[in-house]
């Protein structure tokens, strides 16, 4: 069953409305409403990460030098030592020295963030970024 859509109006200063319209065009949205709905969902997800009561999801993206001694073993040890569920990981060879890995994680926000910081801080990790997500039931 589809939820009823309710219209409401918002007053914005002209320069803020221009910025909103620029983002609608730049990001390929079909309307202002679509962009605003996505922004609201993003805020809800961020808020869920502020509370420990709910499990959330994250995607940790890392680029690292696979020639760095013991790095892959250390990354695996960290993943096994945390109270999170590693749902999936993808490993891609970028070139002779560099690998890109994505790790999809489910768990409490603080545990996912700890894992992300520990892996990102290892010698040989050149880039590390955690993308936060959660179930959105709207």
pLDDT in tens, 32-84: 999 999 999 999 998 889 887 789 999 999 999 999 999 999 999 999 887 78
The string of pLDDT tens digits covering residues 21-40 is: 999 999 999 999 999 999 99
Tell me the per-residue pLDDT of 92-114, one tens digit each, with 9 for 90 and over.
999 999 999 999 999 999 999 99
Cβ pair 106, 55 in contact under 8 A: yes
Per-residue H/E/C for the chain:
CCCCCCCCCCCCCHHHHHHHHHHHHHCCCCCHHHHHHHHHHHHHHHHHCCCCCCCEEEEEEEEEECCCCCHHHHHHHHHHHCCEEEEEEEEEECCCCEEEEEEEEEECHHHHHHHHHHHHCCCCEEEEEEEEECCCCC
Q: What is the mean pLDDT of residues 11-30?
A: 95
CATH number of 14-48: 1.10.1220, 1.10.3120, 1.10.3470, 2.60.220? 1.10.1220
Domain regions of the chain by residue span: 14-48, 56-133
For domain 56-133, give the CATH superfamily: ACT-like. Chain A, domain 2 (3.30.70.1150)
Lowest average pLDDT, out of 3-7, 31-35, 67-71, 129-133, goes to 3-7
Kindly tell me if the per-residue pLDDT of 138 is higher than 90.
no
- pTM for the whole structure: 0.82
């Amino acid at each position: 069953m589809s939820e009823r859509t309710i219209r409401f109006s918002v007053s914005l200063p002209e320069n803020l409305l221009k910025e909103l319209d620029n983002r609608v065009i730049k990001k390929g949205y079909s309307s202002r409403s679509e962009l605003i709905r996505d922004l609201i969902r993003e805020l809800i997800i961020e808020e869920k990460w502020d509370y420990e009561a709910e499990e959330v999801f994250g995607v940790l993206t890392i680029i690292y030098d696979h020639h760095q001694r013991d790095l892959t073993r250390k990354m695996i040890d960290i993943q096994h030592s945390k109270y999170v569920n590693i749902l999936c990981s993808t490993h891609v060879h970028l070139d002779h020295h560099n690998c890109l890995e994505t790790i999809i994680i489910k768990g409490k926000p603080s545990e996912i963030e700890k894992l992300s910081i520990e892996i990102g801080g290892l010698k040989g990790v050149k880039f590390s970024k955690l993308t936060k997500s959660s179930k959105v039931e709207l």
